[in-house]
Chains A and B, each alone.
Chain A
Amino acid sequence: DTAVSQTPKYLVTQMGNDKSIKCEQNLGHDTMYWYKQDSKKFLKIMFSYNNKELIINETVPNRFSPKSPDKAHLNLHINSLELGDSAVYFCASSRGTGQEKLFFGSGTQLSVL
Chain B
Amino acid sequence: GENVEQHPSTLSVQEGDSAVIKCTYSDSASNYFPWYKQELGKRPQLIIDIRSNVGEKKDQRIAVTLNKTAKHFSLHITETQPEDSAVYFCAASRGARKSNYQLIWGAGTKLIIKP
A residues with a Cβ closer than 8 A to B are: 40-45, 48, 50, 55-56, 90, 94-107
Closest 6 CB pairs of A and B: A96-B97, A98-B95, A99-B103, A104-B43, A97-B100, A98-B99
The CA-CA distance from A105 to B36 in the complex, in Å, is 14
Per-position 1/0 for B72-112, Cβ under 8 A of A: 00000000000000010100010111111111010110000
Query: How far is the CB of B57 from the nearest CB of chain A, in Å?
Result: 14
Q: Which residue of the partner chain, among B46, B100, B102, contacts A102 with CB atoms under 8 Å?
A: B46
The CA-CA distance from A104 to B95 in the complex, in Å, is 19
The CA-CA distance from A47 to B63 in the complex, in Å, is 31
Number of interface residues of B (CB under 8 A): 25
Residues of A within 8 A of B49 (CB): 100-101
Query: How far is the CB of A4 from the nearest CB of chain B, in Å?
Result: 8
B97 to A, closest residue via Cβ? A96
The CA-CA distance from A42 to B36 in the complex, in Å, is 13
The CA-CA distance from A67 to B89 in the complex, in Å, is 28
Can you add 15 more A-B contacts, CB < 8 Å, to A40-B107, A45-B103, A98-B96? A96-B98, A97-B97, A98-B32, A98-B93, A98-B97, A98-B98, A98-B100, A99-B93, A100-B97, A101-B46, A101-B49, A102-B46, A104-B43, A106-B42, A107-B43
Query: How far is the CB of B93 from the nearest CB of chain A, in Å?
Result: 6
The CA-CA distance from A95 to B95 in the complex, in Å, is 13
* A contact face: mostly helix, strand, loop, or mixed: loop
Per-position 1/0 for B8-51, Cβ under 8 A of A: 00000000000000000000000010101010001111100100
Query: How far is the CB of A32 from the nearest CB of chain B, in Å?
Result: 13
Among A98, A101, A107, chain B packs the most CB atoms within 10 A around the CB of: A98
The CA-CA distance from A36 to B46 in the complex, in Å, is 17
Contact call A56/B43, Cβ cutoff below 8 A: no
The CA-CA distance from A107 to B43 in the complex, in Å, is 7
The CA-CA distance from A48 to B103 in the complex, in Å, is 12
